[in-house]
Amino acid sequence: MKGAITLTLAAVLVAAATYARALDAGSLRVRGLADIVIADDAPTTRALNTTNLGDTNFDPLRVRLFIEGGSSSTQVFLQYLYSQESAAKDRLFGAYVLHKPLEGRELYVEAGKVPVHDGIWAAHTYSNRNPLVSVPLAYTWRSTLPSHQLPVDLDQLLASRGTGQLTPEYREGGELRGADYPTMPLLYDNCWNYGLYLLGTQGSLQYVLGATTGSPSAPVAALDTNEDTALHAKLGYGVTPGFKLYLSWARGAYLSRDVAPFLPAGQSINDYRQTLWGLSLDWQWRRLAAIGEFIHNRYETPLRADGLANNAFYLQGLYKLFPGWNLALRYDTLRYATLAEADGESWDEDVQRLEGGVNYHVNRDLVIKAVLQATDVGEGWESEYLMPALQASFAF
């Protein structure tokens, strides 16, 4: 199945490249988004928001360039990201084709390096759509469980509790058990998978079906890391014009070939999968707007027969004070399952976060934000983990 997906993606992208070259100059659109931030850059607070590549939404400068073009039935989308603090300072963030095969029906085929469709945060992730600065913990905070390494046993994993953002290493006899690579978040917003999706709406119902080369926790940005194909599904229903509910599901293998030599005899990296369920809401009423998600996640792992589970929850509210002025607040938490083998302790340190602030839309293209972020990493609401920040988000 994975081979068929790969061939389909290759064919679609080649066709897209050929099609893009034939576009009239007037149908090609280029736009950008620049984020300029002044924030506390102390190591204790910076580590709370870093991605796998070492950059954060609080870095001084991040710039995105969007190139789009096509016809009424077929659109090509390219996105480049420049982040001066990243290990990969500039990179192709996304590249996909969106095709409408049937005239008169809201049905689309999406293929390439595609956006995240699990949950609903993707629609809010860009700085001009996010009333705050950070993204929810579920989409970025790394647990201590890796995809490119394998701990010796459960005890070694438990000994690393609370160090996921610091990239723990798992060694035996001084030798790394796998590859040097960051551990996994529950979902990863900062890396798009290669995939093939069917997207559609029918009245108040929205549906998404897809397959990707990587799992939600371990998306594939370059060469594939295992032989499994992750499957994704999402249903959305508009209860009222201002109230929508969504149910998400995804399942796929997350381990990399780097850990194959360390697996139990007779086991394959494709035998261990991540399964994710999510419930999301989007509500708007008068001057109020809110989004929220609850996500349950479980990893199958050679470390424990019953696997390892965690839950994520966030609720974000926005209140429109005056024309152009908004107040925003988000509460956010990640909770890890307790284990009898750990005397009732969780397999990783629970974390919770509050972020609030005010934003002002100077005009359609410029948003100014002032926020304060507080994070509890299991030690209470310590002042050393407070981070104030100012952000200017400029669309051009």
Tally the domains of the chain: 1
Confidence of residue 41 (pLDDT cuts 50, 70, 90): confident
CA distance 376 to 333: 9
Structure tokens of 45? 């607070």
Over 50: is that where the pLDDT of 209 sits?
Answer: yes
Per DSSP, the three-state class of 44 is helix
Q: Convert 321-340 into a string of H (helix), E (strand) and C (coil).
A: EECCEEEEEEEEEEEECECH
pLDDT at residue 22 in the model? 47
Closest CA to 57 of 373, 383, 386, 376: 373
Give the CA-trace dihedral at 249, 121, 31, 212, to 10 degrees. -20
Beta-carbon neighbour count of residue 350 at 10 Å? 17
Over 50: is that where the pLDDT of 372 sits?
Answer: yes
Closest CA to 359 of 328, 386, 329: 328
Instruction: Please answer whether residues 118 and 248 qualify as being in contact, where contact means their C-beta atoms are separated by less than 8 angstroms.
Output: yes
| Phi, psi of 211, deg, nearest 5 | -140, 135
CA distance 298 to 307: 7
pLDDT at residue 224 in the model? 87
Give me the residues paired with residue 216 across strands: none
Q: Which of 32-41, 164-173, 217-226, 319-328 has the lowest mean pLDDT?
A: 217-226
Q: What is the pLDDT of residues 292-327, one digit of tens each?
A: 999 999 999 999 999 999 999 999 999 999 999 999
Over 70: is that where the pLDDT of 58 sits?
Answer: yes
Q: What is the pLDDT of residues 105-147, one digit of tens each?
A: 999 999 999 999 999 999 999 999 999 999 999 999 999 999 9
Q: Residue 156: which CATH number? A: 2.40.160.10
CA distance 177 to 300: 18
Over 60: is that where the pLDDT of 11 sits?
Answer: no
Range 2-14 average pLDDT: 47
Confidence of residue 75 (pLDDT cuts 50, 70, 90): very high
Range 338-361 average pLDDT: 98
pLDDT at residue 42 in the model? 83
Beta-carbon neighbour count of residue 272 at 10 Å? 22
Residue ranges of alpha helices (H) inside 242-388 are none
- HSE-CB at 363 with a 13 A cutoff on CA atoms is 4
Q: What is the pLDDT of residues 266-289, one digit of tens each?
A: 999 999 999 999 999 999 999 999
Instruction: Please answer whether residues 137 and 120 qualify as being in contact, where contact means their C-beta atoms are separated by less than 8 angstroms.
Output: no
CA distance 19 to 74: 9
Domain that holds residue 381: 2-395
pLDDT > 90 fraction of the chain, expressed in percent and rounded: 88
pLDDT at residue 10 in the model? 45
Q: Which of 19-28, 51-60, 194-203 has the lowest mean pLDDT?
A: 19-28
Q: What is the mean pLDDT of the chain?
A: 94
pLDDT > 70 fraction of the chain, expressed in percent and rounded: 93
Range 210-236 average pLDDT: 94
pLDDT at residue 284 in the model? 98
Over 90: is that where the pLDDT of 12 sits?
Answer: no
Range 163-188 average pLDDT: 97
pLDDT at residue 223 in the model? 79
Closest CA to 75 of 111, 122, 33: 111
What burial class does residue 186 get, using C-beta atoms within 10 Å of its C-beta: 0-12 exposed, 13-18 middle, 19+ buried? buried
pLDDT at residue 2 in the model? 53
Residue for token pair 């399942």: 251
| Phi, psi of 81, deg, nearest 5 | -125, 130
CA distance 131 to 146: 31
Structure tokens of 163? 């160090």
pLDDT at residue 1 in the model? 55
Q: What is the pLDDT of residues 78-97, one digit of tens each?
A: 999 999 999 989 999 999 99
Beta-carbon neighbour count of residue 15 at 10 Å? 15
The total number of residues shown for the chain amounts to 396
Higher pLDDT, 201 or 22: 201
